[in-house]
A and B are shown apart, each in its own frame.
Chain A
Amino acid sequence: MNSHFPALIIVVPLLSAFVIVMAGWLNKKYCFPLAAAALGSSLVSAVAMLSRVMDSGPFTYHLGGWAPPWGIEYRVDHLNALVLVVVAAVAFINLIATRAIVRADFPEKTGSFYGLYSLFATGLLGVVVTGDAFNLFVLLEITALTGYALIGIGKQHAPLASLNYIFMGTIGASFYLLGVGYLYLATGTLNMADLALHLSKISGSTVVLAAFLICLTGLYMKMALFPLHAWLPNAYACAPSAAAGIIAPLTTKVMVYVLIRITLFVFTPAFTYAHLPLNQAMIWLASLAIVMGSILALSQKSLKKILVYIIVAEVGYMVGGLWIGNRISISGSILHIVNDAAMTLCVFLAAAGLQFKLKGDSFIALRGSFRKMPYTMAALVVGGLSIIGVPPTCGFFSKWYLISGALTAGTYQFVVALLLNSLVNVVLFFRIFEIGYFEPFPGQDSHRGQKAQAINEAPLSMVAMLLLVSAGLIALGLFSSDMVTRIILPSIPAGIL
């Protein structure tokens, strides 16, 4: 049975999505268990695939029984096995954690919500595992479409934000499709491994360079790299917190994975790093993204808006790490995909808990939150420390690899940008901790001798998951060395020095 895991990881949530929607109309109480079972089984098969790849190296799976250039092929190697586990784990944990919130926000639409949720997870898993360029576009569209719906259902101006997301997302996806069209025109095949073979033969022609630039612009738009990030802040901030819990940590990270897959495995490193001015420009772009992301975050007034701009800055980390081009910085950016997904999940779950219990996440609503919700705020502290980059947590280690990679390559603007971002993150998070810790002044006299307010903690499933994730952040930090040596370094193709 284990040879079918690549298919199982996608088919089980896909089938469950359709059954959940039917259950939504027939009998609502089966929706959540179905979704949990499906995503749980995906997590199990992802872990099984990762262990298989670590033991016996990459393996392929031919869909429909047809050999690669003709049929669609799944190539599972170290890189996408690792990202698969991250995606499956984040989707599963967020599903369990935000159960009470979904029941409170959409009492009569839980069927459709969980259907869209598992379709979204299926799309992401498919994007990560597929080895065919056009199939990747179709799966991108499923992820995007369900994402538009999940965001569009939010309050205040969520529909407008979602519509803007549609415009930018469609332009991005269509540019990617156009890039694949140029590649198909130049080589005649759609399979990624096959493309790499043929592209190396004709790497001189302008078609390949044009396809490269078009694919990059498309992917940058989908991952909201700084100049093209206009859609992300409103979309993620207005999204309902249950949906934001899966969209925020995963979409941009999976798009960075796609960028790494395209630049390193389709356009082989020899081609990608051949154009010096392009690399320098991209590193400057990434540093700009980091700096602008943190500066914009300073001027925000609500917790979620701050976290969203931090995501924009984190995208700059990964893109910069990729473009620096040595093994250390690329392993840093791959490690950051894993770490950043975990960190963003931790802080977004905490924000969801706060918004659920304190009715809103603006700075006024957060006053005295350490007293009312100690465990959620403790998780937010751990998540914040990880985003700042404090040693035991995982955020520090990906910064470590990125900075040492940048030092060896001599790109000092990236180092300065990373350090500046850490300092700004300290200000951002401690401003929130101050509000949660010191205020409210006017309401009571200073806290001397005042009985502790009733602890009004988030629901148990949420708190349990929050503590699990924050413990995971520290565990990821301590085991990052094993992850790098045994999974990430073998996943980087040979052509990189």
Chain B
Amino acid sequence: MKTFGIIAVVLCGALLIYGTVDFPEWGDPASPASTYVSPYYIEHSIPDTSVPNIVTAILADYRGYDTMFETAVVFAAGIACIFLLRIEKRDSPRSRLYRHIPTGVTIRIEQGGRLPEGSRDLERIDSVWVPYDLIIKTGCRLVIPFIQLFALYVIAHGHHSPGGGFQGGVIFGAAIILYALAYDLRTAQTHLPIRTSVLLSSTGVLIYAGTGALCLLLGANFLNYSALAGLLGVDPVTARSHGILIVEIGVALAVMAVMVGLYYIISSAGRLDEGL
């Protein structure tokens, strides 16, 4: 099997190298790729969509259809993992671990016994015992809001600087995952349960496809934001820029929710009780 693999790889490499004979040099400004379609984008992105960041303009408007399916891919991955891994009937765990916050003493209760929920100074911890981590908890509690703020900045500022829906969404998701890492999966799930994460991800993608369908209903072609001019009360060009912003928000929402959902499912291998 090994030799066959190496032969196949070498053969494939030779085919690829054979292909590069007529390639243009690296960075050559006269190469066909940079002289045919892309100059139009560079010259017309401001007059058409008044969005300085050409990549966002192409991403959400010229080739907005690709990005819609890209968000659908993210959504599909989230749903697929939940579909594959989720275990419905969870048998209750044998033993439970509790920690007395003031003294740091941990208590183990066997045969599925449990303590009343609301006790102030006793908190439940994962069976994979984690050392007392006051520094991490407080540190994270301080940092997370700023990460989320920065994520919102990245989303909103996608028009003018490198950024946009995907990057912002991932940063926002990372903030929540950091929270789940610092504390434990159960507390993270109290703030953002798996059910809301799935509902959020579908609303995000629905926002994207919905704006496209809205343009359809208003008579223009699918995803043609200039049709929103009437609705938003602006001229068609700024309508396109606002359309791009709405779509970016939808993408961010979907990506954030899916990242969080993926982390919940994969880290707890479907049982959604104890993560990393």
By a beta-carbon cutoff of 8 Å, the part of chain A in contact with chain B is: 4, 7-8, 11, 14-15, 17-19, 21-22, 25, 61-66, 69-72, 108-109, 112-113, 115-116, 119, 122, 126, 134-135, 138-139, 141-142, 145-146, 148-149, 152-153, 159, 182, 184-190, 198, 205-207, 209-211, 213-214
Contacting residues, chain B, for A141 (C-beta < 8 A): 73
| Leading 7 A-B pairs by shortest Cβ distance | A210-B19, A188-B36, A149-B80, A65-B224, A7-B222, A112-B83, A188-B32
Given contacts A142-B73, A149-B83, contact A70 B210 (CB under 8 A): no
Contacting residues, chain A, for B216 (C-beta < 8 A): 4, 7-8, 11
Task: Give the nearest-CB partner of B61 in chain A.
Answer: A64
Q: Is the CB of B83 within 8 A of A65?
A: no
Q: Tell me the complex Cα distance, A209–B80, Å.
A: 37
User: Is the C-beta of B31 less than 8 angstroms from some C-beta in chain A?
Assistant: yes
A459 to chain B, nearest CB (A): 24
Q: Is the CB of A145 within 8 A of B76?
A: yes
By a beta-carbon cutoff of 8 Å, the part of chain B in contact with chain A is: 15-16, 18-24, 31-38, 40-41, 61-66, 68-70, 72-73, 75-77, 79-84, 86, 88, 195, 198-199, 202-203, 205-206, 209-210, 212-213, 216, 220-226
Task: Give the nearest-CB partner of B83 in chain A.
Answer: A112
Q: Tell me the complex Cα distance, A19–B210, Å.
A: 11
CB within 8 A of A64: which of B37, B77, B81, B222?
B222
Q: Tell me the complex Cα distance, A190–B131, Å.
A: 55
Q: From DSSP, what is the main secondary structure of chain B's interface residues?
A: helix
Most buried by B among A8, A146, A148: A146
Q: Tell me the complex Cα distance, A145–B84, Å.
A: 12
Given contacts A63-B65, A64-B65, A134-B66, contact A188 B224 (CB under 8 A): no
Instruction: Give 18 new A-B contacts, CB below 8 A, not counting A115-B79, A148-B80, A210-B16.
Output: A7-B216, A7-B222, A11-B213, A11-B216, A64-B225, A66-B61, A69-B37, A70-B62, A108-B88, A112-B83, A116-B80, A119-B75, A119-B79, A138-B69, A185-B31, A188-B37, A190-B37, A210-B20
Q: Is the CB of A153 within 8 A of B84?
A: yes
Task: Give the nearest-CB partner of B34 in chain A.
Answer: A188
B256 to chain A, nearest CB (A): 16
Contacting residues, chain B, for A153 (C-beta < 8 A): 83-84
Contacting residues, chain A, for B62 (C-beta < 8 A): 64, 66, 70-71
Contacting residues, chain A, for B16 (C-beta < 8 A): 210, 214
Q: Is the CB of B24 within 8 A of A210?
A: no
Q: Is the CB of A145 within 8 A of B80?
A: yes
Task: Give the nearest-CB partner of A113 in chain B.
Answer: B83
Q: Tell me the complex Cα distance, A190–B36, Å.
A: 11
Q: Is the CB of B221 within 8 A of A63?
A: yes
In the complex, how many residue pairs between chain A and chain B have their CB atoms under 8 Å apart?
169
B193 to chain A, nearest CB (A): 10
Q: Is the CB of B222 within 8 A of A63?
A: yes
Q: Is the CB of A188 within 8 A of B222?
A: no
Q: Is the CB of A21 within 8 A of B80?
A: no
CB within 8 A of B66: which of A135, A206, A207?
A135
Q: Tell me the complex Cα distance, A139–B216, Å.
A: 21
Q: Is the CB of B199 within 8 A of A22?
A: yes
Q: Is the CB of B63 within 8 A of A71?
A: yes
Contacting residues, chain B, for A11 (C-beta < 8 A): 209, 212-213, 216, 222
Given contacts A4-B222, A7-B216, A70-B62, contact A116 B76 (CB under 8 A): yes
Contacting residues, chain B, for A186 (C-beta < 8 A): 22, 32
Q: Tell me the complex Cα distance, A305–B34, Å.
A: 50
B191 to chain A, nearest CB (A): 18
Contacting residues, chain A, for B222 (C-beta < 8 A): 4, 7, 11, 63-64
Q: Is the CB of B19 within 8 A of A145?
A: no
B207 to chain A, nearest CB (A): 10
Q: Tell me the complex Cα distance, A195–B213, Å.
A: 29
Given contacts A70-B41, A116-B80, A139-B69, contact A15 B36 (CB under 8 A): no
Q: Is the CB of B205 within 8 A of A18?
A: yes
Given contacts A19-B206, A210-B15, contact A14 B72 (CB under 8 A): yes
Q: Tell me the complex Cα distance, A352–B66, Å.
A: 35
Q: Is the CB of A205 within 8 A of B221?
A: no
Q: Is the CB of B33 within 8 A of A188?
A: yes
Contacting residues, chain B, for A108 (C-beta < 8 A): 88
Given contacts A15-B213, A153-B83, contact A63 B36 (CB under 8 A): no
Q: Tell me the complex Cα distance, A92–B15, Å.
A: 42
Q: Is the CB of A109 within 8 A of B22?
A: no
Contacting residues, chain B, for A213 (C-beta < 8 A): 15
B252 to chain A, nearest CB (A): 16
Contacting residues, chain A, for B209 (C-beta < 8 A): 11, 14-15, 18
Contacting residues, chain A, for B63 (C-beta < 8 A): 64, 71-72, 134-135
Q: Is the CB of A18 within 8 A of B66?
A: no
Q: Is the CB of B199 within 8 A of A25?
A: yes
Contacting residues, chain B, for A214 (C-beta < 8 A): 15-16, 19
Q: Is the CB of A18 within 8 A of B75?
A: yes
Contacting residues, chain B, for A113 (C-beta < 8 A): 83
CB within 8 A of B36: which of A61, A146, A189?
A189
Q: Tell me the complex Cα distance, A17–B202, Å.
A: 9
Task: Give the nearest-CB partner of B69 in chain A.
Answer: A138
B253 to chain A, nearest CB (A): 12
Q: Tell me the complex Cα distance, A115–B86, Å.
A: 16
Task: Give the nearest-CB partner of B63 in chain A.
Answer: A72
Task: Give the nearest-CB partner of B207 in chain A.
Answer: A18
Contacting residues, chain B, for A116 (C-beta < 8 A): 76, 79-80, 83
Contacting residues, chain A, for B73 (C-beta < 8 A): 138, 141-142, 145
Contacting residues, chain A, for B35 (C-beta < 8 A): 188
Q: Is the CB of B72 within 8 A of A142?
A: yes
Contacting residues, chain B, for A71 (C-beta < 8 A): 62-63
Contacting residues, chain B, for A17 (C-beta < 8 A): 72
Given contacts A65-B221, A116-B76, contact A207 B83 (CB under 8 A): no
CB within 8 A of B18: which of A65, A119, A138, A210?
A210
Q: Is the CB of A19 within 8 A of B202?
A: yes
